[in-house]
Structure formats: C-alpha cells, structure tokens
Amino acid sequence: MSTARTAILDRLRRVNALPLKASEPDYPIWNDADPDAMLARLTGLLEQNHAEVLRLPRTALVTTLRERLAQAGIKRVATGTGGEFFDDITQALNGTAERVCFDRPLEEWKDTLFNAIDAGITGCHGAIAASGSLVLWPGPEEPRTLSLVPPHHIAILKASTLHTNLPAMMTDEGWSQGMPTNLLLVSGPSKTADIQQTLAYGAHGPSALTVLILEDA
C-alpha cells in the first residue's frame, strides 16, 4: 500500500502547516525526593488500588515469601530462570510449592501456564512513587506473561529503585535511548468497571497483586 502512504503524506504536506516550537508550559507533578515519603506514597497508592504491600528487610525475603505462599494456598508457581532474586525464590519454594521454570517458549507450555499455575513471581525494574506504579522490564529471564497470565502476581521491589515520577524516571534512566520490546507500568491487579460502574478485580490478568518491598536493598 505504498500508494496510500505517498497519497496521505502528500496531502498532509500540501497543507504546509507551520511547525510549532517545543517550549511548553510546566505543570505541577508530585516530586518529593525523600525516600520515606516516596515509599509511603507508593505503598498507599498501591494499597488503594487493591494490591497487598509488604515492607521487609532483604534478609526476610525467603521467610516472608514462604509465609505468603502458604497463606494464599499457592501450590504451583511459575518463575523466571534468573535475576537478582532467583536464589531466594528457589529457597522459598523449596518444600512450600511446586515450581515451574519459564525456560522454554510460551507455545510449548501455554496450556499449563493458563490452566495449572497459581502464581507468577517476578522482580521489578523499579517503581514510581507519584502514581504508585511498578515498572516491569520483561526479558529472557523473566518473560512478559509471567506477570500477566497466572491469577496471582508476586512482585519483588528494591526500595532503592524507586523514582519520584514518570518523567523523572524516563530521563534518569535514558529510556528514549533504547526501549525494550515491552515495558510496563503496573498499578494493581487487573480490574474493570464495565458492568454498571461496579468495580470488579481479576478481569483478565491477575486478580491479586502482592508487592514485597525490600526496604534496605
């Protein structure tokens, strides 16, 4: 359809619109850089959006994870194949729940992931205090569907990776220099208000989101 391309672009060009400059008015955005304030804001907003948030020291990760899995009655867990918390997750699962590693293409085990997994565990690339969002940066070690298909998503976040707001995080990390195939902000379990404006959780993605925040990491 390159004729369509030429025709559309020609029509737009013929208009000779005057390109406007990039100077734009500022708008206020939450930008407190105090770590405690950021943490409090993130926790508050995530909880408002129906996520369960646990704050703990790094050394308590294994035990907390174990307890949470037991409490939630989680039997089969999907995990990635690497990442910073891989060993902790492995230890926590040992004797608590069966583990299925995401170590082959989705097509080869789609049915299992959709129908026989209770929870998926992932790390977080970071988080945004202003809007209460986790930033997920899926990759070969932690594929995209790990945080999407299982009914319960458990996310591990280091408090030190928290940023004040989205524009700040984009600039600090130079996102515009190179984006991953998929980058996600997640601010709670999946939800909908499509039936008579009544809020319901677990529309298509996870119906539960647990966030473990490692305060000293």
Partner 1 sequence: MHNRPQHFHAQAEAALADTELRANFRGAMDYLRDKRKTAFADAAEESAIRDRAEAIRQRCLSKLPELLERLESNCIANGIRVHWAENAEQANAIFTDIIQSHGGTLAVKGKSMVSEEIELNDAMAKEGITCLESDMGEYIVQLGRETPSHIIMPAIHKNKQQVADLFAEHVPGFEHTLDVDTLIQTGRRVLREKYRTADVGVSGVNFAVAETGTLCLVENEGNGRMCTTVPEVHIAITGIEKVVEYLADVPPLFSALTRSATGQLITTYFNMISGPRKDDELDGPKEVHLVLLDNGRSQAYADEELRKTLQCIRCGACMNHCPVYTRIGGHAYGTVYPGPIGKIISPHLMGLDATQDLPTASSLCGACGEVCPVRIPIPELLQRLRHEAKQDPRPGALPLRGQKAAASNTEAFVWRSFALATRQPALYRMLTWCATRLRWLMPKKLGPWTRCRTAPRPAAKTLRELMAERKQ
Residues 157-176 binding partner 1 (CB under 8 A) are: 165-167, 170-171, 175-176
In the list 12, 33, 37, 40, the residue contacting partner 1 (rule: CB under 8 A) is 12
* Residue closer to partner 1 (CB basis): 95 or 105: 105
> Angle, to 10 degrees, between the axis of helix 86-93 and the axis of helix 61-71?
50
The DSSP secondary-structure symbol of 34 reads -
Residues 178-207 binding partner 1 (CB under 8 A) are: 179-198, 200, 202-206
How far apart are CB 203 and partner 1 at their closest, in Å?
4
Residues 56-85 binding partner 1 (CB under 8 A) are: none
* Residue closer to partner 1 (CB basis): 18 or 95: 18
Q: 141 Cβ partners below 8 Å, 6+ apart?
A: 80, 81, 82, 83
Residue in the block written with tokens 């305060």: 215
Residues 82-121 binding partner 1 (CB under 8 A) are: 102-107, 110-111, 114
Distances (CA, A) of 171 to 12, 23, 24, 41, 214: 32, 17, 17, 21, 24
In the list 83, 99, 118, 139, the residue contacting partner 1 (rule: CB under 8 A) is 139
